[in-house]
Amino acid sequence: MKHSDKPAEEGYELWLRYVPIEDEALLATYRTRITSLVCVSDSPTLKVAQAELLRGIKGLLGVSIPLTDTIQPGAVVFGHPDLAPPTLGDEGYIIKRLNEAIVIAGNTDIGVLYGVFHFLRLLQTHQPLDNVHIESAPKLKYRILNHWDNLDGTIERGYAGFSFWDWHKLPDYLAPRYTEYARAVTSIGINGAALTNVNANALSLTPQYLRKAAALADLFRPYGIRVYLSARFSAPLEIAGLKTADPLDAGVIAWWQAKAQEIYQIIPDFGGFIVKANSEGQPGPHDYYRSHSDGANLLANALAPFGGIVIWRAFVYASENPEDRTKQAYDDLVPQDGLFAANVLLQVKNGPLDFQPREPYHPIFGAMSHTSLMLEVQMAQEYLGLATHMVYMAPLFKETLDAETCDGPVAKTVLGMAGVANTGSDRNWCGHPFGAANWYTFGRLAWDYTLSSEAIADEWLRMTFSNDTPFVQKATGMMLTSREAPVNYMTPLGLHHIMARSHHYGPGPWVTGGRPDWTSLYYHQADSEGIGFNRTPSGSNAVSQYCSPYREQLAHLDTCPENLLLWFHHVAWRHVLKSGRTLWDELCFKYNEGVTQVRRMQADWDSLAEYVDAARFEHVRALLAIQEKEARWWRDACLLYFQTFSKQPIPADYEQPAASLEYYMNLQHYFVPGIPEQRF
């Protein structure tokens, strides 16, 4: 294969590379349309906007353009609030031609900055400027990255190195990477960053660490990014020596009120708390026989005078609860609809289990019309091959955003969107060169959830790699099929939670022992008759949490979507599916199709060598080889295990497993990334 002679790149610039435009005709056109900059203010945010425009135009057009006070043909004018329609709100913007000039305006400076990044995106993706007229405003108010970063530098479920928050050197040293992070975040419309792990450390609320967070908040402020912190519910016990953390205790109430006042004195625009309570061993109001609304309102009332919010995670379940785990959050929280304070947002995962390759949408969406909700998605590929598998998440996110609930599409039932970050200290930020596409996708969809997966992939590829049409078309096709591939080679037909214990790396359909709801057998329930979790009225009746007619569609074997079949039904091995294949043969087909899809991705990528610098091309090529190997591992291990129940052969026209089931069951992996505590 012939490699490109393009200079080697590391991926550090993400989608903000601003490389020179090679199309000479287009370059000449842009140079006549952009000849000067006119800024009407020198606020910190508009200084950032000005610096970004100068940087972008210099890189893309290869010229330095002057700053002037005169609006003339070819001027790019930014910062005029009187030119932005009030309907665009505080963060929206307009980009339009006006008397041979280009105007970028917003009702606030941050709106202008968002518009500047959009304008540069037009240049990066080679869009015409002759009749440009764009009006854009965010569809969701809260667009927040959730960093599961620990104070010791590790990242829970982080697969791109260690945390780039250097808490030891803060607040005195602000690494240049923090500014690059702020640029990237703001360029895609994200307006919040939760700095600390939801499995919280109470130290983050001490004065020493609040001053460290304040240094980041000061840096982020011109970029419109608010800082959030995870609050450990037991903090009054751990850092104040109180004898209780009961949310109805007067002393506890007073402590949180004083803590809120202290925080806002240090960080005046502090966004608020994110809380994981009474889930997976985390402390919470249930420890004192109180409700989740009692716990959330305790913190919300403390933050309310300062304009802060509480983001209370709906990821709650308990090992002592015998009910189907996928029902527990709904059962606990929906009866409390209307009891949460106005500044509480319930943060709900896209599905009712835990970021699986495919889940139905979470039934809480559409069931709590008197409670503000946020959608939580995960860019970190905890269950999707870590950072070694190419998995473009936009189709997964869109599946949930577009899902119809009792109150309409999920997207219209939420005030915000939170994304579990996939960033780390790796030079390219996300480990896999294509991993940044999921960070980018999160921001773009949180701003405008009507964007298509294809459109987002197209612009990300153009900004990150190349504007060459053959490259963009083929690479877009790769990205659009890349999510379905791991669904097929990991958990086809609605299978779920069959990964290895603890680190979640690789297959583990045989995992049993200990907490039932942390085992694979609990979920696939394979036996000599069939496989799958019966969640119909004759089983756990989880279907009852969905509204009609979806409830009835899911409940019947013949109408349930086949990509969720084993999520809701225990299906006989010889049951015939729409393909004409039996369930067993369909499983064999899907597992093999997943491997085939990865091999197609490999072939497609090999054909694109001439368009990508050799360093990034070879990096992706090597990771695709790992993915193909691990896809075969998943396929062979799962089919061999499930074959012990089906007692049927793997059809001879498929590749046969490379090793025995005993071999796969005895594989051990140590120090898998993303596990702060190694438990092997």
Residues in the chain: 680
**Alpha carbons 642 and 645: distance in angstroms, whole number:** 5
In sequence order, what E strands does 480-603 have?
A: 530-531, 571-572
Look at residue 374 and tell me whether its pLDDT is greater than 90: yes
Query: Nearest to residue 393, comparing CAs of 431, 361, 439, 429?
Result: 439
pLDDT for position 166 = 98
pLDDT for position 2 = 77
Which tokens hold the place of 4?
Answer: 């490109």
pLDDT for position 125 = 98
**Alpha carbons 642 and 639: distance in angstroms, whole number:** 5
Q: Is 26 buried (19+), middle (13-18) or exposed (0-12) by CB count in 10 A?
A: middle
Query: Nearest to residue 567, comparing CAs of 331, 321, 326, 322?
Result: 326
| 344-349 and 309-313 beta bridge pairing | parallel
Average pLDDT, the chain: 96
pLDDT for position 677 = 66
Q: Is 173 buried (19+), middle (13-18) or exposed (0-12) by CB count in 10 A?
A: exposed
3-state secondary structure 443-486: HHHHHCCCCCHHHHHHHHHHHHCCCCHHHHHHHHHHHHHHCHHH
pLDDT for position 195 = 98
**DSSP classification of residue 388:** S
**Range with the lowest mean pLDDT among 40-49, 241-250, 277-286, 347-356?**
40-49
Q: Is 377 helix (H, G, I), strand (E, B) or coil?
A: strand
Helices 24-33 and 44-61, packing angle to 10 deg: 150
Q: Is 225 helix (H, G, I), strand (E, B) or coil?
A: coil
Q: What is the mean pLDDT of residues 643-657?
A: 97
Q: Which amino acid, residue 77? A: V
pLDDT for position 39 = 87
Instruction: Point out the catalytic residue in the list 23, 90, 100, 280.
Output: 280
Q: What residue segments make up the domains of the chain, in order of their start?
A: 24-136, 142-451, 487-533+570-665
What confidence category does residue 488 fall into, taking pLDDT thresholds of 50, 70 and 90? very high
The torsion angles phi and psi of 185, rounded to 5 degrees, stand at -60, -50
Q: What is the mean pLDDT of residues 352-381?
A: 98
Fold adopted by 487-533+570-665: Alpha-d-glucuronidase, C-terminal Domain (3.90.1330)
pLDDT for position 40 = 76
Is 280 tagged catalytic? yes
Spatial contact of 437 and 457, defined as CB atoms under 8 Å apart: yes
Question: Are 24-136 and 487-533+570-665 equal in CATH topology?
Answer: no
Q: What is the mean pLDDT of residues 529-544?
A: 98
Spatial contact of 71 and 103, defined as CB atoms under 8 Å apart: no
% of the chain beyond a pLDDT of 90 = 95
Q: What is the mean pLDDT of residues 348-352?
A: 98
Instruction: Point out the catalytic residue in the list 294, 324, 354, 585.
Output: 354
Is 399 tagged catalytic? no
Global pTM value: 0.97
Instruction: Point out the catalytic residue in the list 382, 585, 613, 628.
Output: 382
Other beta carbons within 10 Å of 548:
8
Which tokens hold the place of 417?
Answer: 């969107």
Q: Containing H/E element for 235?
A: helix 235-240
**How many Cα atoms sit within 13 Å of 514 on the Cβ side?**
9
Q: Which amino acid, residue 188? A: I
142-451: CATH homologous superfamily?
Glycosidases (3.20.20.80)
Look at residue 680 and tell me whether its pLDDT is greater than 50: no
**DSSP classification of residue 518:** G
pLDDT tens, 5-30?
A: 899 999 999 999 999 999 999 999 99
pLDDT tens, 380-398?
A: 999 999 999 999 999 999 9
pLDDT tens, 254-292?
A: 999 999 999 999 999 999 999 999 999 999 999 999 999
Spatial contact of 343 and 298, defined as CB atoms under 8 Å apart: no
CA 80 from centre of chain: 34
pLDDT tens, 55-113?
A: 999 999 999 999 998 888 999 999 867 778 889 999 999 999 988 999 999 999 999 99
Which tokens hold the place of 274?
Answer: 């994110």
Is 69 tagged catalytic? no
**Range with the lowest mean pLDDT among 73-82, 324-333, 555-564, 588-597?**
73-82
Which tokens hold the place of 457?
Answer: 């992939």
Spatial contact of 403 and 397, defined as CB atoms under 8 Å apart: no
- Domain 24-136 sits in CATH 3.30.565.10: no
H-type helices in 483-549, by residue range?
A: 484-490, 521-524
